[in-house]
Structure 1
């Protein structure tokens, strides 16, 4: 019985060490948005919109807008203009392509 406990204990210790080192290998990303803007971004200036849902890294929904000039801004997902823009883009996307929007890690819409 004692002979069987030593290998099991060693196996458990090695498994624990592997798990701990793999946790340190992953970078903690946290939230993408440190601060958000309330200012409306004109639709003609928007190249892409990313909706990042709540996850283990961030406890809030984030909306990143990539402007045509390449600059990225985070907008407040509670703003009325943001909700209206997303609703309009989703309905346009649904009627024009009739395809599902991918929601694996984030939803992306081309404006």
Structure 2
């Protein structure tokens, strides 16, 4: 009877942990809040990172880094923002003055989306 009680307690603990993880939902996401516009000028953007949906986060996340080091999360559902980001990425790819690490970062982040 004692082993039956241990199994029952273990099962109850597993159920409680699973329920708590499901309630947390977006805990694994990097962005808590998103912006609908790029703060400042688009030319101030140093890096763009796009994170696809994962088992830990159920939304696509777009994170930009500005030249002064600030990082902002952008709303991927805004159509005008998607067009602006596409233009920004295209300009960065064609620009001979951008460093190879910036270009490769942009290529790898946009290919994964």
Calculate the TM-score normalised by the size of structure 1: 0.55
Partner of 1:102: 108
Partner of 2:86: 87
Give RMSD over aligned pairs.
Answer: 3.1
Q: Which one has the largest radius of gyration?
A: 1
Residue ranges of structure 2 left out of the alignment (5+ in a row): 1-26, 97-103
Give 1 or 2: higher helix fraction: 2
Calculate the TM-score normalised by the size of structure 2: 0.54
Q: Distance in 2 between matches of 1:101 and 1:72?
A: 19
Q: Distance in 1 between matches of 2:94 and 2:67?
A: 24
Q: Distance in 1 between matches of 2:68 and 2:83?
A: 23
Residue ranges of structure 1 left out of the alignment (5+ in a row): 1-28
Partner of 2:34: 36
Distance 1:69 1:106, change over 3 A: farther
Partner of 1:55: 54
Structure 1 residue 45: Cα displacement: 1.4
